[in-house]
Structure 1
């Protein structure tokens, strides 16, 4: 061969043909001296303990504590990807990524008393040689090994990893060639082939797939395909969250995804609904008798969290009620592990997007400036400080000024900060002598999912002259906890707000209330509200618009902010965009599905 010979990458089925000195589509492999070489070996963005449901994995060592490892990059580029900030915007050469040998990774897992390691958030195919070596070292130390992947392995790469693999979550993009071409692939056939191969090799497999407003038939076909392998393979339906450039109209209602789940049960024994706070379909029910085996809560995008409820598994992984053998591997954890703040899983990507949200609002159009801010926050204890500072309006505004200085956009940051402080002051001064404060409950998705009392949304309620009923509810979760309707009835809130991140329509929300709950003051008096735009109450500086909206609702005798006019001004001044609510999706960072980085 000559020194300018092209080489074909055999790690994933995209099969990039890479010229000498070039790199593949994922940006993680290059052709060096006629060899496909990993460009950033042993470099990690995250190594932190998580519970296995955060992965998410539901039928493997329930509640188990695993060490999450994540790098950067991905072999796919999917519209609305929840990991865009780390797979497309993170620089894999950044000092944020820390170098660890396989032995050091395994030592960290063992020091944290983890029962295994799991690769998630970006695809292990992007750092395949690194992951294989870590997996081999883990097996030598008796640790379990798993990953979340799009499953686009070649037969050769699947053979290499399956020798040391115990469990896998395979994300299917759809069953059409078009679905895969949109992500950079060509056909779903390699993924279906690999799911079957993993199952036949005794590796525990769970399958996930996005539910959009147009792909119900594809999901039904996928369920039938999986059932041909085994009815007992769990299917995780990920209700689509429109992020980045994704069309907001692709997002289905929670009830629509739940209805689809019930249809798919004709083909599979276990079908779960994700990204839908308050749904009961994150829990495991016995396929024969319907007993609740494990009860779970929504735990941020793509995640679930085991609760100390449900009957659990009897010895031999059978239903204690009817004796049905259930498709679980490993016993449940004695003590449930809970991550703190932005630690682990997809909430980490939300943290990066919240930083990006501030930077974009103060005029950052260069990803290098965003990377600089990420590098600062992710050094030392910056992530925990961020989690604290974003929960209070005043400290949030301080963050705006801090990041403005950091990226040399101080004037733009000051302009934004002053605008927000002025609105805050108007509201606070008007409420100085307020005597009657309405009791307010803040939900996400459904009425029975209560946002944690200390969260930012509840601070906005109090700033706007309300009493946060959420602060009376105990329990831990991220971003909240499921409660019973009896608890909600005892609170009897006068006003209910629905989170603008993972929301329901007000009409759907009303329909969730049982008959005996219709006399709650907020329901009886039709005082249930969501915000005019998404992410207007958390995650981006647009919360100032949400605060004005809350003030209007709670004290119409005092406030009459023209919210749409304010939004138009905000978008014009801070995003240089025309405001159109139809272009606004669930992104914290990107203000519109039409917003783009400058080249």
Structure 2
């Protein structure tokens, strides 16, 4: 248990949490939607501080981040809790405990230990991932401050439902915002993750880039019959181009049946290719297909001269045509952080 950072008092010992866009109003003794913030005696506390359910050394491409320190390893940590309730969550076993046993049985990794482990492992940075990092703010903030002091990069792999207050608190210490955009209307978000409104996810991503200068990459897991219609695919593509910039990478990934969506089919490859064409028609320069081993849309190719800048196989990458962030052949900036 750790004192929460972002909250206000309400009458009758109730509190209002400002950590994410639910802005939960919590009665004494009760939990917020994420189940990781609790009102105790009229004060708000975080329950998963330094409680780690999973950790690994991953290639940065696994996040996926393709234009951010390619070829490096990142020390990845996850905890319990999420502010969405996605029916097809791939990580629910390590992110969404049904009881308090998950927290009790998880290991404790204090911020100093996390940063030291990252350094000793040879990782270039730290990523908070596997669960939703925005319900772990008190921990991720302390880790991020220490990581920046040690010269490590920092990454949120997020559903984007953090509040602006949350983003502005950690903004000075966060380098990359790898955000899921699961659809482009409220109905889809209600169906997938029980979230009533999705526009705040977009505005927070825009704020991450424009106010804090973070590197932003977008992922959309295209699910048959849920978010694969032309209106949503075109909507996401055009929003990226208009608000984040045409050089923002968009990862269009294949859905595989899981958890409560086992009766849905895997996404047809033709559907992904169709989405790719919409993305290119919107002017996006860097569009990648994910969860499709061996597909032709995994390398980074300069949109102006056709030079192949980065070759990727699975989660490994080989930089062959970059000069810093620029194409080694024609000098065009390809929006890399290196």
Contact 1:282-1:295 within 8 A present in 2 as well: yes
**For 2:260 and 2:109, how far apart are their aligned partners in 1?**
34
- Corresponding residue to 2:189 among 163, 180, 201: 180
Q: Superposition pairs for residues 88-237 of structure 1, below 5 Å? A: 88-89=96-97, 93-94=101-102, 95-182=104-191, 183-200=193-210, 201-214=212-225, 215-217=228-230, 218-229=232-243, 230-237=245-252
**For 1:2 and 1:161, how far apart are their aligned partners in 2?**
25
Structure that is richer in strand per residue = 2
Q: Superposition pairs for residues 54-65 of structure 1, below 5 Å? A: 54-65=62-73
**For 1:185 and 1:192, how far apart are their aligned partners in 2?**
14
Q: What's the counterpart of residue 54 of structure 2?
A: 46
**For 2:148 and 2:312, how far apart are their aligned partners in 1?**
29
Contact 2:307-2:321 within 8 A present in 1 as well: no
Residue 143 (structure 1) shift: 1.5
**For 1:35 and 1:25, how far apart are their aligned partners in 2?**
17
**For 1:15 and 1:228, how far apart are their aligned partners in 2?**
28
Residue 320 (structure 1) shift: 2.4
Q: What's the counterpart of residue 86 of structure 1?
A: 94
Contact 2:54-2:130 within 8 A present in 1 as well: no
SS in 1 for 2:90: coil
TM-score, normalization by structure 1: 0.52
TM-score, normalization by structure 2: 0.90
Per mean C-alpha deviation after superposition, the further-off stretch among 199-208 and 172-181 is: 172-181
Q: Which is bigger in relative contact order (C-alpha 8 A, separation at least 6)?
A: 2
Q: In the superposition, relative to structure 1, how do residues 277 and 91 fare at CA in structure 2: closer, same or farther (>3 Å)?
A: farther
Structure that is richer in helix per residue = 1
C-alpha RMSD of the superposition: 1.9
Residue 92 (structure 1) shift: 5.7
Q: In the superposition, relative to structure 1, how do residues 296 and 31 fare at CA in structure 2: closer, same or farther (>3 Å)?
A: same
**For 2:86 and 2:206, how far apart are their aligned partners in 1?**
24
Contact 2:55-2:76 within 8 A present in 1 as well: yes
Q: Superposition pairs for residues 190-589 of structure 1, below 5 Å? A: 190-200=200-210, 201-214=212-225, 215-217=228-230, 218-229=232-243, 230-246=245-261, 248-267=263-282, 268-298=284-314, 304-306=315-317, 308=318, 311-314=320-323, 316-330=324-338
SS in 1 for 2:336: coil
**For 2:145 and 2:162, how far apart are their aligned partners in 1?**
18
Deviations 1:333-379 (A, max 9, x none): xxxxxxxxxxxxxxxxxxxxxxxxxxxxxxxxxxxxxxxxxxxxxxx
Contact 2:60-2:73 within 8 A present in 1 as well: yes
Larger Rg: 1
Runs of 5+ consecutive residues of structure 2 not aligned to the other structure: 1-8
SS in 2 for 1:227: helix
Contact 1:12-1:152 within 8 A present in 2 as well: yes
Runs of 5+ consecutive residues of structure 1 not aligned to the other structure: 299-303, 331-599
Residue 71 (structure 1) shift: 0.8
Residue 279 (structure 1) shift: 0.7
Deviations 1:415-468 (A, max 9, x none): xxxxxxxxxxxxxxxxxxxxxxxxxxxxxxxxxxxxxxxxxxxxxxxxxxxxxx
Contact 2:154-2:173 within 8 A present in 1 as well: yes
